[in-house]
């Protein structure tokens, strides 16, 4: 069923709200190719042990009736129906720690979270470079508890049977998720001395929906104030950056079925505001490539990102 939905999505444009709402199938479309011939079935699993996860103080999702669940797909794991936000620290060895930190926001259309490919794997890779990383498991829009019903709801969303909502102000539409991101920044700053982190060198990197959250946190997150942000295959809708907008890193594949054909307005917005921006447009890679070892050059995004961090001084101790 997922392959059929992917083909229908590629044949006709789908409004942004519907595409993001159907985020649990974003990765299915991206990897329905021989290069990533992995099992695309969503198999329910028990929640993995998360002994280091710290519960954030944003409280339970208002009105939530379905509890958190997990499933396996593409050899990775995904969380769904997250009702309580957590933050998981992945710290570098003290000897190599630079004092810089990144809040990592996985994607999944605000319906799921790609916890391995866009979360823990990214955090471990950053820690290996000396950068403290914190995986944000933010609260999600509720979906049916049973997997068959969940898949049907996503199929209906793609087919147009469910009328997409009008695009709203991200500060309102993503209010719970922005609150989670703000709480994450507050927690890291509060424990900065304990974790060996410079309070002024904390950035945020997001993937797909997580990239949307990252940008919204920079624009509407009030006291969050990330030192830098990374938008990895997220929407590139133009915005009005503040005068002190943080340096921005963008990575996108030219064959991304969701965001590659709408222009590069976000990059233009940053340039017009004379704020630092770096943009990597890869010929191939689809959507959701993350840390998967694909044969396309999009796999090099992480090396490009860390080189960019190094250029801005985040791979060296300050002073």
Domains annotated on the chain, with CATH:
45-146+170-311 (3.40.50.1820)
Most distant pair of Cα atoms in the chain: their distance: 58
Rounded (10°) angle between helices 209-220 and 175-190: 70
Backbone angles phi and psi of 63, in degrees to 5: 75, 5
User: What pTM value is reported for the model?
Assistant: 0.89
Per-residue pLDDT of the chain (319 residues; tens, 9 = 90+): 343 334 333 333 444 444 444 443 444 343 333 334 456 889 999 999 999 999 999 999 999 999 999 999 987 899 999 999 999 999 999 999 999 999 999 999 999 999 999 999 999 999 999 999 999 999 999 999 999 999 888 777 666 544 444 557 899 999 999 999 999 999 999 999 999 999 999 999 999 999 999 999 999 999 999 999 999 999 999 999 999 999 999 999 999 999 999 899 999 999 999 999 999 999 999 999 999 999 999 999 999 999 999 999 999 998 7
Angle of CA points 255, 261, 266, to nearest 5° = 110
Q: Answer for the pair 183, 56: CB distance below 8 angstroms, yes or no.
A: yes
CA neighbor of 144 nearest in space, from 60, 44, 74: 44
3-state class of 260 per DSSP?
A: coil
């Amino acid at each position: 069923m997922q392959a059929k939905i992917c083909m229908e999505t590629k044949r006709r444009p789908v409004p942004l709200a519907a595409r993001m709402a159907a985020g649990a199938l974003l990765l299915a479309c991206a990897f329905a190719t021989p290069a990533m011939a992995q099992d695309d079935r969503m198999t329910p699993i028990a929640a993995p042990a998360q002994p280091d996860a710290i519960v954030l103080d944003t409280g339970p999702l208002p009105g939530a009736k379905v509890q958190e669940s997990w499933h396996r797909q593409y050899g990775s794991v995904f969380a769904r129906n997250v009702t309580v936000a957590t933050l998981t620290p992945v710290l570098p060895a003290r000897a190599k720690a630079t004092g810089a930190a990144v809040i990592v926001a996985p994607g999944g259309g605000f319906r799921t979270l790609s916890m391995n490919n866009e979360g823990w794997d990214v955090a471990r890779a950053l820690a290996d470079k000396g950068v403290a990383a914190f995986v944000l498991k933010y609260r999600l829009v509720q979906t049916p508890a049973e997997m068959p019903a969940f898949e049907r709801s996503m199929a209906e969303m793609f087919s147009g049977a469910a009328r997409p909502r009008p695009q709203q102000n991200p500060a309102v539409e993503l209010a719970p998720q922005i609150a989670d991101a703000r709480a994450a920044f507050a927690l890291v700053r509060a424990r900065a001395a304990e974790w060996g982190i410079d309070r002024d060198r904390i950035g945020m990197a997001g993937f797909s929906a997580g990239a949307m959250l990252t940008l919204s946190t920079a624009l509407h997150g009030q006291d969050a104030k990330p030192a830098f942000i990374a938008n990895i295959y997220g929407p590139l809708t133009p915005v009005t950056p503040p005068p002190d907008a943080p340096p921005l890193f963008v990575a996108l594949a030219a064959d991304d079925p969701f965001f590659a054909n709408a222009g590069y307005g976000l990059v233009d917005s940053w340039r017009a505001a004379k704020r630092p921006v770096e943009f990597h447009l890869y010929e191939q890679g689809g959507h959701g490539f993350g840390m998967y070892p694909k044969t396309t050059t999009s796999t090099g995004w992480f090396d490009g990102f860390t080189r960019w961090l190094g250029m801005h001084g985040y791979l060296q101790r300050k002073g």
